[in-house]
Structures are given as C-alpha cells and as structure tokens.
Amino acid sequence: MPLFTVPFYKVLFLITQVVIVVLTVAYFNQMFHIVVSVILPKKRWKDAEKDHRYAFVIAAKDEEAVIGQLLDSIKAQDYPAEKISVFVVADNCTDATATVAAERGAIVFQRTDPVLRGKGFALDYAFKKIMAEYGDMGIEGFFIFDADNVAGKDYVKQMNKAFDCGEDVIIGFRCPKNFSDNWLAGTSGYMYLRESRQINFGRSSLGIGTFSSGTGYLVSARHIMEAGGWPYTTTLTEDLEISTVVCARDGKVQFCPDAIFYDEQPVRFRDFCRQRLRWSKGDHQVFFKKGAELYRSFFRKPSFTKWGMMMHITPIPAFSFIWFILYTILGLVWAAFNPMPYEVFNAEFLTYCISNWVYPFIAGYFCGLVLVFQCMPYLDAPKWKQFLYILLFPFSMATFIPLTIAALFMKVEWKPTQHKHSV
C-alpha cells in the first residue's frame, strides 16, 4: 500500500512541507547575503570631518590575565589620545582586575552585587556613574568592549568615520585572536568571521542594518542619555536586546568593515556549550520580551532591516528541529506498524527523513567553502588549519540545535567565561 495514501502520514508530510517552506523563506536572505558578500565591494565610510570624543566601557569579572592587553591596544590607537577615555567596571572581582586597569590609566568602578549579576547590570551601573560624575567630559559615544578583546590600531579612527555620518549604533569587524589553539577555537572563530565577512558585510553593501554581537560596538552618548543608562538588563543577550529596540524604533545598527578587533574563543567544550546555551536563551528572551514591538513596527513600516532582525530573534530553528525530531520518531513508529515494500519506505520516507538532516550540513559547507577564502587575510594561521577547521565548522554550528531547543525549557543563568589568552 503506498505510504502517502494513509491519512496520518499525509498530515505528517504536509506539516513538514510547511516547516521547510517557512525555513526557506526565513533564511533565504542569509544565503543571499553570502552571494552579495562575494559580488559587491565593501561599504566605505567617507573620511570624518571631526575627531569625536569617545570612551571605552569595559565590564570585567576576574580578568586580570587579559585586560592589560586591551588597555594597551586602546593606548596604541591611531587617534588623538586626549579624545579617548577608558572606564572599567570591576564587577564582583576577586582578583587584581581593578589594580591592573588603574595602573594602565583607566577610571575604575568597583561593583559588588551578588544578586544582580551579569554584563547588562554592570554596564547600567557604569553608565549611571559616568553620567553623574563625568558628565562634563563631553563624551559623544561609548565603545562597549569585553576584557578579552584587543582593538586593531585604527579601530577608533575607522569607527569615527561612521559615527561622523550620524549613526547611533555601529558594530566593528570581529576576528578571533586564538584561532589556532584547537578546533573549538577555530570553528567558533569562523562563526564570528561568517557573521562579519558574510552577513554584516552583505547587509552593509546593500544598505541594510544588522545587529550588534556581544562586544566591539559603539553606542552614541545621546542614546545612553535618552535611555537613562543601560536598560538592557532583562535578557542574557544585552547586545541583541539593544539591536532589537533600535530596529523596532526605525533605526539601524550599522557595520564598519575596516574597524577590526579581536576576541578570545573558547578552547574547552564546557565553555563552548555554556556560551551557546546562554546566547540561545538570551535570543529566546529577546523574542518573547521585545519581539511584539519589532513585529508591530515591521507591519507599520516594513523594511529589510526589520525583516532580518525578526528572522534573527524568532526561534524558528528551535521549533522546526523539534518538529523534525517528532516527524522522524512518529514516521518510524508508523512504519513499524504499517508493513510496506522496502522500496516504498526508502523512496518516500527514509530518503525524505535523512534529507532533512543532511541539507543543513550542505548549506554549512557551501557557506564554509566561500568563507575560508574570504577570511584568509584575517587569520594568522597555517592554511591546513584553516581548511581543517572549515570542514568541522558545520559540526560546530550543529551544536546550536540541541542547545537552542534546551534553552526553551531550561533556566539559564549568566556565568563568566575564564579568559587566559594574552597576546
């Protein structure tokens, strides 16, 4: 008896077709941006007419091993030193983070709050202190950095070009500083390189806004003043939260491809998974807390920027993979109680089921093949490692599948990641 004549399996098949169509529509733009990143030149910001006044704000939890290199890279900027200030929040630290930062000339705030833990709360504390005690410094924009970052020599100079054009939130080009440590660091680094070199690059070339990602971005002082500090404390991903709010209010997070900075990637699988679980939980929180505002804004005034942000925060992958798992299980159970010729089972169920899991890897390898050639100029690593890690890249990205599903149901709390890679 042909498989598709059975009503139960017809329903399974129909639902799966709908899910695939939704996924295709939702993520076609990402594949399109990859093509655009190959064809179109990068966006170039015109030279700035003014050297604006900036401050770096760094939230640090026990980062004495790495914060010194970040502060040294800020001092080495190809930009007037008198136009840059540095504020460090030593957040519930038990080491010498505050001392190391103060010795390198940073203004240090020591925060102790065992209840309100996390980067968002530390930033809110810092901005309120800055507004109250350093409001007369004339700061026009704030760079949000993590302690394990290193700023490229002309990072501020390049970001100043975009800021001088009147942009409120700008993200730089993120590169891994420990790509060669092991395959986890390498594949995690490729994730950010893909985000910068393909997604952000493609969107900026088309004039479409993007989203801030964790660190290395600039927020105007005007935005901070209007918000009364840093109100993005209700989720575990304050970077995506501010991006969603800016987008919902008809703004854009811009990308500056020449403003390069570096950050440390995890080398232990436990840290690797913990980070991704927190990001996934934070993304879900942003969707449930800010998604309605973004969707209303899109239907009021549609734009490709808002569409891209909607697809980024909506947990379509989690729900779709939950369905694919159920589809596989229910289909196998149904087949066990409905004998049929092997060729029918193979042609109509097994092949279709396997393809649902294989296609994402094919897309990952397509993305990776393009990425490895695009990113060679940014990586100080042997070519064989670059190609080896790109082969492992889809498997690394696949870890998001169980973690993004788990994040829907688990209670996830912010925990610091230990950084030791000083270069």
| Model pLDDT for residues 373-420, shown as the tens digit of each residue | 999 888 888 999 999 999 888 888 888 888 888 888 888 877 666 666
Which domains can be identified in the chain, with CATH numbers? 1-41+53-418 (3.90.550.10)
188: confidence class by pLDDT, cuts 50, 70, 90: very high
Mean pLDDT (whole number) for 149-160: 97
Q: What would the two tokens of residue 124 be? A: 């809110």
Q: Which residue has the higher pLDDT, 399 or 132?
A: 132
321: confidence class by pLDDT, cuts 50, 70, 90: confident
Residue 339, CA distances (Å) to 1, 325, 335, 336 in order:
8, 22, 7, 7
4: confidence class by pLDDT, cuts 50, 70, 90: very low
Q: Which of 8-12, 124-128, 323-327, 378-382 is the most confident on average?
A: 124-128
Pairing of strands 217-220, 141-146: antiparallel
Residue 75, CA distances (Å) to 130, 152, 315, 337, 407 in order:
20, 11, 41, 71, 40
Mean pLDDT (whole number) for 130-159: 95
Terminal-residue alpha carbon distance, the chain: 66
Residue 95, φ and ψ in degrees, nearest 5: -125, -160
350: confidence class by pLDDT, cuts 50, 70, 90: low
243: confidence class by pLDDT, cuts 50, 70, 90: very high
**Over pLDDT 90: what percentage of the chain?**
61
Polymer length of the chain: 423
Residue 339's pLDDT is 64
Mean pLDDT (whole number) for 90-95: 92
Asked whether residue 256 carries a pLDDT value surpassing 80, the answer given is yes
Residue 275, CA distances (Å) to 67, 120, 183 in order:
20, 16, 16
Residue 1's pLDDT is 43
Mean pLDDT (whole number) for 146-153: 95
Residue 198's pLDDT is 93
CA within 13 Å, CB half, 187: 23
20: confidence class by pLDDT, cuts 50, 70, 90: confident
Nearest one of 161, 177, 190 to 263, comparing CA atoms: 177
Q: Could you tell me the pTM of the whole model?
A: 0.89
Asked whether residue 153 carries a pLDDT value surpassing 70, the answer given is yes
Q: Which of 29-38, 262-271, 404-413 is the most confident on average?
A: 262-271
The Cβ of residue 37 has, within 10 Å, a number of other Cβ atoms equal to 23
Residue 27's pLDDT is 74
Task: Give me the torsion for CA of 379, 202, 224, 62, rounded to 10°.
Answer: -20
Asked whether 147 and 32 are in contact (CB, 8 A), the reply is: no
Asked whether residue 33 carries a pLDDT value surpassing 90, the answer given is no
Question: What is the SS3 assignment for the chain?
Answer: CCHHHCHHHHHHHHHHHHHHHHHHHHHHHHHHHHHHHHHCCCCCCCCCCCCCCEEEEEEECCCCCCHHHHHHHHHCCCCCHHHEEEEEEEECCCCCHHHHHHHCCCEEEEECCCCCCCHHHHHHHHHHHHHHHCHHHCCCEEEEEECCCEECCCHHHHHHHHHHCCCCEEEEEEEECCCCCCHHHHHHHHHHHHHHHHHHHHHHHCCCCECCCCCCEEEEHHHHHHHCCCCCCCCCCHHHHHHHHHHHCCCCEEEEEEEEEEECCCCCHHHHHHHHHHHHHHHHHHHHHHHHHHHHHHHHCCCHHHHHHHHHHCCHHHHHHHHHHHHHHHHHHHHHCCCCCHHHHHHHHHHHHHHHHHHHHHHHHHHHHHHHHHCHHHCCCCHHHHHHHHHHHHHHHHCHHHHHHHHHHCCCCCCCCCCCCCC
The region, left, alpha or beta by phi > 0 then psi within -120 to 50, assigned to residue 37 is alpha
Q: What would the two tokens of residue 90 be? A: 């030593």
204: confidence class by pLDDT, cuts 50, 70, 90: very high
Residue owning tokens 């901005």: 127
Residue owning tokens 């940073």: 106
Mean pLDDT (whole number) for 129-154: 95
Residue 323's pLDDT is 79
Judged by average pLDDT, the poorest of 83-97, 178-192, 391-405 is: 391-405
Mean pLDDT (whole number) for 16-27: 76
Mean pLDDT (whole number) for 1-12: 58
Angle between helices 351-374 and 7-39 (to 10 degrees): 10
Asked whether residue 226 carries a pLDDT value surpassing 50, the answer given is yes
Mean pLDDT (whole number) for 137-153: 96
Asked whether residue 325 carries a pLDDT value surpassing 70, the answer given is yes
State the chain's mean pLDDT as an integer: 87
Sheet holding 141-146, edge to edge: 107-111, 84-91, 54-60, 141-146, 217-220, 169-176, 253-263, 150-151
The Cβ of residue 344 has, within 10 Å, a number of other Cβ atoms equal to 15
Residue 45's pLDDT is 94
Which residues are 210's β-sheet partners?
253
